[in-house]
Amino acid sequence: MNNDHMTSFFFLPLLLVACGKEPRTPNIPAPQSPTQREYTFAATPSWADEFDYDGLPDEDKWGYDIGSQHNGWGNNELQFYTEKRTENARVGDGVLTITAVREEHEGLAYTSARLISRGKADFLYGRFEVRAKVPQGVGTWPAVWMLPTDWKYGGWPASGEIDILEHVGYDQDVVHISVHTEAYNHVIGTQKTATKKIENATSDFHRYRVDWTPTYIRGFVDDVQIFSFQNEGKGYKVWPFDQPFHLLINVAVGGNWGGQQGVDEHAFPAAMEVDYVRVYPLEN
């Protein structure tokens, strides 16, 4: 995202409290200059969810982050993330549907779900692809993204974040692919991101992809590259992406970024649909 849109939002230091995860004391290696090269990926996924079943998301593949800003979430979002509740997360007709609902719950006016693969599927490098349709409506903030599983270099943003897809409802059909590190993040005005205007992001499915290798992270929309981030060989502050990450899928309501132009309560329920999630391993 453009820095002027980024300066007042995102997954801030309270994120670790929200996830129930304390950062480790960093064991920081000396910087090494990477060998710049191209990588290839397997043709067959090593992990996937095709959502070809009915009911709750597969518990062998997905868990839940549960709670709200009242439990320490750091982005001032308006929803309570629930667990194993089909009103907020269900699979049917070949898709996963994450729905933000306007309803009173635990002192908040909205519910939603945040699926996580942490501890069930953690990854070091690979091609990550989702086919998704994002919700319409001011105040919606869907995302498919990745966080470090062990927080090797400490709390956010030191251990990094990879955003495969983000969309905010007040900026209709503009999708974002980003990374966050200690050296490159919106708080200090150095955000690394890319955006693409898609005329029908909320009405049609599109493919969103990140290729993560030891030397680069690249982002694609419908197989067109829009984002590139290089390992500069300057250590973890620039490149913390040498540790396992896990997947997250959620729809937030409001928040420091998603709610910048208010929340249209009449837009809810608002749902993101995901046709599949596929992970292709790095080959060479």
| 19 has a pLDDT exceeding 50 | no
Distance CA(21)–CA(6), nearest Å, equals: 25
Q: Give me the pLDDT at residue 28, please.
A: 72
pLDDT tens digits for range 65-123: 999 887 767 789 999 999 999 999 999 999 999 999 999 999 999 999 999 999 999 99
Give Cα separations from 136 to 117, 174, 218 (angstroms).
26, 11, 26
Give Cα separations from 10 to 17, 54, 195, 250, 259 (angstroms).
15, 33, 16, 14, 11
Residue 33 belongs to a domain: no
Q: How many independent structural domains does the chain possess?
A: 1
Q: Are 9 and 255 within 8 A, CB to CB? A: yes
Of 3-17, 190-204, 250-264, where does mean pLDDT reach its minimum? 3-17
Q: Is 166 a catalytic residue?
A: yes
Four-point Cα dihedral 252, 253, 257, 260, nearest 10: 170
What is the domain range of residue 42?
3-21+38-280
Q: Is 232 a catalytic residue?
A: no
Residue 29: pLDDT band (50, 70, 90) is low
Please state the rounded mean pLDDT for residues 192-217: 97
CATH code assigned at 272? 2.60.120.200
pLDDT tens digits for range 117-173: 999 999 999 999 999 999 999 999 999 999 999 999 999 999 999 999 999 999 999
Residue 64 belongs to a domain: yes
Distance CA(157)–CA(14), nearest Å, equals: 11
3-state secondary structure of 61: coil
Residue 119 belongs to a domain: yes
| 1 has a pLDDT exceeding 50 | no
Residue 95 belongs to a domain: yes
Q: What is the DSSP letter of 26?
A: P
Distance CA(174)–CA(219), nearest Å, equals: 15
Which position among 77, 129, 166, 273 bears the catalytic label?
A: 166
Residue 26: pLDDT band (50, 70, 90) is low
Residue 128 belongs to a domain: yes
Q: Give me the pLDDT at residue 24, please.
A: 57
- What the block records as the tokens of 52 is 């070809």
Q: Give me the pLDDT at residue 47, please.
A: 98
Q: Give me the pLDDT at residue 34, please.
A: 74
Calculate the average pLDDT of the chain.
Answer: 90
Which residue matches tokens 């995302």? Answer: 143
Please state the rounded mean pLDDT for residues 59-70: 93
Q: Enumerate residues 6+ apart whose C-beta is below 8 A from 158.
A: 23, 26, 181, 182, 236, 237, 240
Nearest to 225 by CA among 238, 212, 208: 208
Which position among 161, 199, 232, 283 bears the catalytic label?
A: 161
| 32 has a pLDDT exceeding 80 | no
Which residue matches tokens 């898709």? Answer: 95
Q: Are 106 and 81 within 8 A, CB to CB? A: no
Nearest to 73 by CA among 112, 29, 111, 20: 20
